[in-house]
Every structure is written in C-alpha cells, then in structure tokens.
Structure 1
Amino acid sequence: MKVIILAGGGGSRLFPLSRKSYPKQFLKLEDDKSLLVHTVERFLDFVVPEDILIVTNQRYLYHVQNELAECQAEAAHIILEPVARNTAPAIGLALSYCESKLGCAGDEPLIVAAADHVIRPQDVFTKCILQAAQVAQQGSLVTFGIPAKTPETGYGYIEAGESDGLSFAAQSFKEKPDLKTAEAYVEAGNYYWNSGMFAFTIDFMKGEMAKYQPEIAAILAEGYEAAVARFADMPEISIDYAIAERSQAVRMVPLTCYWNDIGSWDAMYDILPKDEQGNAVQGDVLALGCTNSLIMGHDRLIAGIDLDDLLLVETDDVIVVAKKGESQKVKTVVEKLKKMGRKEAVEHTTMYHRWGTSTVIGQGVGYRMKKVRVMPGKAITMQMHYHRTEHWVVLRGTAEVMRGEEKMMIHERESVFIPQTTKHKLANPGRIPLELIEIQNGSYIGEDDIVRFE
C-alpha cells in the first residue's frame, strides 16, 4: 500500500492565518503540530515513511521537508508539481512515480488524502482505510463518505446505494446543495458528505484515466520524467470531475469517525475547545459577556464585550470579523484583495525560506526593517541590490558575512553595513539560530531588487 498526500493547495478560506505563502496544511491549529504532521502520523500507524508520497509545489518544498523532519518521516517521497493543475494530474503524477521510481505492481492499492483534515480516533480511521484498500483490490474506485448528520451546505454529497457488507455503491455525486436540499439529504438517511479521499489500485486508475481522461493517460504512458516535463499540458481538472463522477465502478466506504476539513472559520470553531460560555479563545484575549464566539489573537490584547456568535481572527497585519455561519465569504474577501493588488492576500509579514525566516517589523517611505532568522549551517545566497543599502545588527549568534571580497565574522551587538551594488552573502556557521535586524534604505525597496549570483 502507498499513501498519496496532496499538500500543494494555497487555501484562502482560513485567511488571514492561511495564505498562499504559508497555507493551511502547515498551520499549527490545535497543538504544536501542523495539520500536515498530523496527517503523516495518521498514516504511519500502518505504513512506513517510504510508502508515503507528498505531492506539493516548489514553493512549499522546504516547508514539507521541515514538517517531515518534525515527525521523523524524512524518508517519505516528495513530488513537486511544475505548475498547479488540480488533483487529477497531481494524482496521475504520483501514480507514475509509484510505477517508474518505486516499482509498484499494478494491483497495489493507493490511498489519496488531503494534508489538512482533522480525523479521529486513530483506530477507527485505520480500520476504514484497510477496509477501503480491500474493496479497491476487487476492482473499484473507492471514495470515503462521512455520515451526514447535519444539513451542511459547504460539502458535496454522495448518494449511497446497495451494500455488500464492506461498502456501498456510489449511486451519484451531488454538488454543494442549498439548505433545503441538504435537509432533504439528511432526512433521506443514505447521503454522505464527500471527504475527498480515495482508494484504488494502479491498474484500475490507469484504465479509468485511459477511458475518461485520454490526454492525461497519454502523457503518463510516456513515463515519469515525461509526465513532469509535460505536466503543464495536462488539463486542469479535479479527480472528482475527471474520474469519480464518470466511472461506473465507484464504491463508498463510510468513514465512521470524526472528520473536519477545516474549510472555514466556522469549521475551525467546531474543533477547538470551548469555555463554559461556548467561546473558543486563543491568544491574549479578555472576553466579557461573550458567548459562542471564536476569538483568536496573535500580537495584541483583544478585549471583547458582549459578543455573540462572532468570529474574530487577528494577525499582525490583518483583522477579520464575521458572523458565525458567514465565514465561507472569507474567500470572497481574499479574491477582492487580490484584484486590488494587496500583498496581504498572499503574503504574511513572516516569510519562510529554505534558510530560515524573515519578518517585516516596520516600514515607510524609503525604508523597511526586518527581523531575520538563519538556521544553523544555512546561508542566504550571494546577491546584490541596485537601489538600497542594508545594515545588519546581530541580536543572537554569529554571522559570517561576505561583503565584496571581504569576509568577516559579526558577533552579538555588532553590525555591518552593505552599500548599494555591493555583492554580499550571509551565513550562520554556528550551532544556534542566527537572529539579526536588517534595516533597508533606498529609493526602491521592492523584493524584486535582488540580483543573485548563486
């Protein structure tokens, strides 16, 4: 059995915490582990790291590597999508990798899961996965359905038909319904929320691709390297539309445990612990007379007074306030911000790099200040700026600096000045993280004023 975890999405529904530069799968929402780490650990209950494939894009490579190190799963395989093409091409690429690189047999079952869902308890989940793998080996595309106990309008639905004791026939897939239709589904009793998880064998999926997505199948038939090279030529389509809703051999296994895709702040409220007044509170929050509300703070004290059924999320550069039940509209906010060209739509003030992090702590006309953190043994590549100078003040650790032809060591409470058009490089030769303040001055301080030499 191989497990394919899709971790390339740049979800916006949990804005402002989740943004394109650091999306939901890397957030630590319930504890000190990210959603991706929880997902990997969930599958490590019955497979080894070498049987796990993470499909993501180049932007998130270092995030994924760091998260795999967190759960001692560095041996998992990372597959990089050249461009975003939705889940059908992503799954096809992973399938090709299994054949070409791992030598998997055609009857080996593959499990496909998202990187950002909350599922518990573990024993029930494991039982459902093994059951689905058994059904898949009988020649079916298996989808996982969540018993629809409430009329949710944010999920797609699966209509269940006859049962063979292990699974149900998936009679039809339904788009996200209005409230009246969702209530009718719950009343009928044979409708399940579509979890977006699948199980199938390699040969079965290759056959379905050839039948329903010949463009994708033709590219995959050329081998893994060709699939990577021609990935952009594949149609942009989800596995649901591409295969699941067309296949004549779809079975459904009920996922009879707690499941939450955290697709909105309302869903986030559901998974967090509540106080006696029904409030889910994180951060430095004083809630007076508040009931049934989500209040999440980051940098500042938040004082709430007599709030009811409210969602309030604060980061160091954005505050989002919404009525409970309306959080699906957060995505609309992000779309409007993108059209306005607002960087807040895609970037956090803290940016994550292969060498560490950089956080904007102040800026104005002609200047910007950042706190830079370089991990032990890492370095920022040799570069140069045409329009700005930089001044580095070391707070912690030791910096190895190349400035032109000069090499120097800068210690705590010492500083170095980098003139315009001067090649420079910053490295951390020590055993602890290097922390410094970077002060940029110039007529133009855009991030694109960087000429790299490595």
Structure 2
Amino acid sequence: MYTIILAGGFGTRLFPLSRSNYPKQFIPLFGEKSLFQKAVLRASLFSKPEEIFVVTNDTHKFLVEDQLNQIIIPCNVLEEPCGKNTLPAITYATLKIHEIDNNAIILALSSDQLLDETETYNQAIKAAEKLTKKYIVTFGIVPTTPHTGYGYIRPGDKLEGGYKVSAFVEKPDKHTAEKYLKERYLWNAGIFCFSANFFLDECRKYAPEVFNAFSHNVAKAYELTPKISIDYGLLEKTPNVAVVPLSTAWNDLGSFEALYSISEKDINSNVVNGEYITPDGKNNIIISDKLISTIGISEMAIIDTADVLMICPKNQTQKIGEITEQLRQKNDDRVVNHTIVHRPWGTYTTLLRSKTFLIKKLVVAPHKRISLQYHNHRSEHWVVVGGIAEVTNGENTFLVRTGESTFVPANTIHRLANPGDVPLEVVEVQNGDLLTEEDIVRCDDDYQRK
C-alpha cells in the first residue's frame, strides 16, 4: 500500500505556539516527536519508505526533510508551487504514484491529527482496502461527544466492512450535534483510501477542471487548477463513496480546548506545560517557559511564548483565527515566524531588535552553510560563541574560532559555513536602515532557494 501525507498547511489555530512558517504539524506537542513524524510512523505500518509520498510547499520542504531525517524514514517529498487545498494535492501525488504502479492502493493522511494506532485502526484500513475497487473510502470516527467543531458523515446502505455515504454535513450547532450522535452519524476524519485507477477515473468524471489541469507540468497545473477540497470537489459529487467506522482516540487539535481535552491533568484538572502556581486555579491550560501564577482564574487558556502572550477563556480558543487575521492585515511578522526561525542550514533566534540594529543568534548545523549573499542596506558583525566558522568575506575565506569575530560591510559578498561535527553558534549584530529578510541577494545556494 502507498501512503500520501498532506503536510503543506499554514494553519495557526494553535497560535502563538503555531505560526505559518512553523505550524502545528511540526511542533512536538506530545513527547519528542511532532504530529508530522507520528503520521509518517503511522504510514510506515502499511507502507515502505519509498511508498510514502509527502506533499508540502517550499516554505516547509526543509522542515519536512529535517524531521524525516530525525526518524530515519527517507520518504518521497513532493513540493507544491502553491497551496490549492486537498484535492489538487492528492491528485498530484496520486498521479506520481500511478506512474509507478497503476494498480496502487493509496491511503491519504493528514499530518496534523492525533490518532491511536490500535488494532481497531489496522482492521479499519484493511476493511477499507477491500472496498477500493468500487469506492473512494473515507473514515468516520465514532463520536464520543456531540462535538460542534467537526463535520459529520451520515452512513447509508450497509457494505462489507462499512457503509455507502448517504451525506456529508457541515459543522452543526449543539442541538443538531446531539441529534447526530443519537442517529449514529460519524465524525469526518479527513482520512481516505482508494485505488489510483479508480480515484483518477472519478476525478476525470466529477472534477475535470482539476484532472485536466494536471495534463500540464506541475507549475502550469497549479496555475490552472481551482483551489478546492477533496470533499467539495469530488466526494460530494460522486455516488461512489464509502465510509468505514473507526473507533479509536482521534483529534484534529483544532484549538487549545481540544489540546486540553486529550492532555494529562493535575489534581485541579489543569494542563500545565511549564511552571504554574495558583491557590485556586482549576481547569486551565497553561503553556509557558516562565513561571505563571494566577489568582481567581479558572477555565482559561494562557499561552506564553517569547514574543506573544495569549489569554482567553478555554471555550473560546477556536476564535484565535480572528487574532491571526488582524495580525495578517497589519503585515505583522509574528503571525508568520517565532523568534526562533528554522532554515535548511539550521536556525536563527531574534534576541533584540531596534530601528537601527538587530541582534540574532545563528546555529548552523554540522557541515551546512548559509547561501553566498550580500545585503544592500545593512552590515553584519559575527561573533563566534561556539564551534569553528569558515567565513567567506569578500575575496577572502578564513576560519573564525570561538571568541573571535569578523565584520562584513554592506554590499560585500559573504558566507558562513560550519566545517565541524558540532553545531556552530554565532551572535550576529546587524546595523542598517532596513533589517529584514527581504534584504538578501543570494549569489549561490545549496538549497536552490530564490
């Protein structure tokens, strides 16, 4: 069996933990592994590494590759020119798999869900596989509560191992959700199983604007294809959709309230990641690197990061999108990046910012290097605080050891490289009238960035 993992989302529903350039699927929310890594490990239950295809974008491509290296599962990585929702992404990957094996059975997973890989899960996958000759199969989580944050599926005629889908329904209000629970509706999990041949035939019939777009090269295909989900673009149009019920712990982590519901709690039902002191606080979710103390505060979410503090009632955390939208309208970089920004060569951390100077800490991974570049509006002063740097500064290339420094004037071609086996740590002081990532002119880059 082949597996497609969709890992291109920019969602910020867990802001400020999640940012556009470092969204929730790459954050190790539970233990040492991210949701993306857990999805890859789940895929490896049924697929070999060469049978797993990850669909992402240029922003997250290097995060994907880095996290795959950490779990030593070298999958195929497909880069979308731009995000056009789930139907184009799944079609793109399915066509790639079809070139290898036109009889392939494919499982399509989201990278940002939490799901227990129990024997029930394994049995559901096997049941779905048997239905793929005649149906595109989706999976319906057996509800445990009348949840208003999920779409639902109404099962129809009984099939071996599942049901025909009678209807897909939108997120309901509380009263309607209670009615759905009594009538044995299922939560729409956004997990699919199908044969490559059958999926492409159905796409040709019911989503021709998507299918025909991919008769062109990838760049042109993404210009032509509409932006549309697999639910709206295909599953709600074809009569050949089945659902397999799945009774297992599942959560799409769409809010901090959802994160609270599945996390370990203390004796006062607080979920705490960090240090928290209170004489009376109950039912809170607290995430912070510093001590948080409260009096008279319960049923709240307090999420504290290096640059953003978010406080709201726990049952209103689904409204966080309104905050991120306001930040986007202001072109505020904090909705995009943390103070720690990941790059294919390592990370940089913003330590201090003013109008005329910016101080960063750069960590360059062993045997990696930044692009050969120059800046029109700023100079840079590098102080090595750990490891040994190989510096290109104008026409000269030389080593800078721990405790030593070098100055790079504006408009000077330069590069920082780590020739060693340990991370290189450098404090960078920028001076100038434009201190942004836009003031980078790349002359050469190991990672083919623009």
Interval of TM-score (by shorter of Structure 1 and Structure 2): over 0.9
2-structure distance, mates of 1:391, 1:417: 4
| Mapped pair 1:192 → 2:186 | yes
Which has the larger displacement, 50-59 or 341-350?
Answer: 341-350
> Is residue 114 of structure 1 aligned with residue 114 of structure 2?
no
State the alpha-carbon separation in 2 of the partners of residues 285 and 262 from structure 1.
23
Matched residue type, 1:174: V
Query: What does residue 170 of structure 1 align with?
Result: 165
Mapped pair 1:205 → 2:199: yes
Q: 1:379 aligns with which of 369, 386, 394?
A: 369
Partner deviation per Cα, 1:396-453 (whole Å, 9 max, x = no partner): 1000001111111111111111112211111000000000100111122122112211
TM-score w.r.t. length of structure 2: 0.96
What is the DSSP-based 3-state SS (H/G/I as helix, E as strand, rest coil) of the residue aligned with 2:315?
coil
Aligned partner of residue 320 in structure 2, secondary structure: helix
Q: Which letter maps to 1:360?
A: T
Q: Does 1:248 align with 2:239?
A: yes
Q: Which amino acid aligns with 1:111?
A: L
Shift of 1:165: 3.9
Contact 2:214 2:221 in 1 (8 A): no
1:272 is matched with which residue? 263
Q: Say if 1:158 and 1:194, in contact at 8 Å, map to a contact too.
A: yes
Identity rate, percent: 38
Structure-2 residue corresponding to 1:128: 124
Counterpart selection for 1:394 from 362, 384, 397: 384
Distance 1:451 1:288 in 2: 55
Alpha carbons of structure 1 residues 227 and 419: separation in structure 2 relative to 1, 3 Å? closer
- The 4+ residue runs of structure 1 with deviation greater than 4 A are none
Alignment of 1:252-263 (within 5 A): 252-263=243-254
The range that moved more, 35-44 or 443-452, is 443-452
Q: CA deviation at 1:125?
A: 1.6
Q: Distance in 1 between matches of 2:42 and 2:207?
A: 31
Distance 1:227 1:409 in 2: 43
Work out which of the residue numbers 97, 101, 105 in structure 2 matches 1:104: 101
Would you say how many aligned residue pairs link Structure 1 and Structure 2? 444
Correspondence 1:425-436 to 2 at 5 A: 425-436=415-426
**CA displacement, residues 284-335 of structure 1 (integer Å, 9 cap, x when unaligned):** 332332111100003x221122321111111100011111211110011101
Q: Residue 447 of structure 2 corresponds to which residue in structure 1? A: none
TM-aligned CA deviation for residue 255 of structure 1 = 1.1
How much has 1:46 moved relative to structure 2? 2.5
In structure 1, C-alpha distance between the alignment counterparts of 2:359 and 2:117, rounded to whole Å:
45
Answer whether contact 1:42 1:122 (CA < 8 A) is retained: no
Deviation at 1:87, TM superposition (A): 0.5
Aligned to 2:37: 37
Structure 1 residues not aligned, in runs of 5+: none
Deviation at 1:221, TM superposition (A): 4.2
Task: Label 1:209 to 1:165 Cα distance change in 2 as closer, same or farther (>3 A).
Answer: closer
Q: Find the aligned partners of 1:304 and 1:135 in 2 and give their Cα distance.
A: 54
Aligned residue number for residue 214 of structure 2: 220
Say if 1:17 and 1:24, in contact at 8 Å, map to a contact too: yes
Comparing 396-405 with 207-216, greater Cα deviation is found at 207-216
Aligned mates of 1:433, 1:285 — CA distance in 2:
33
Q: Which amino acid aligns with 1:366?
A: T
User: Which residue is equivalent to 2:141?
Assistant: 146
Shift of 1:362: 0.5
5 Å matches for 1:215-364? 215-221=209-215, 226-298=217-289, 300-364=290-354
Letter in 1 for 2:80: E
* Aligned mates of 1:24, 1:88 — CA distance in 2: 21
Q: Which runs of 5+ in 2 are unaligned?
A: 445-450
- 2:61 aligned with 1:67: no
Match of 2:152 in 1: 157
**3-state SS of the aligned residue for 1:112?**
strand
Cα distance in 2 for residues equivalent to 1:336 and 1:85:
23
Kindly indicate whether the alpha-carbon contact (under 8 Å) linking 1:295 and 1:311 is maintained by their aligned counterparts in 2.
Answer: yes
Aligned mates of 1:376, 1:349 — CA distance in 2: 22
Give how far 1:228 is off. Answer: 4.3
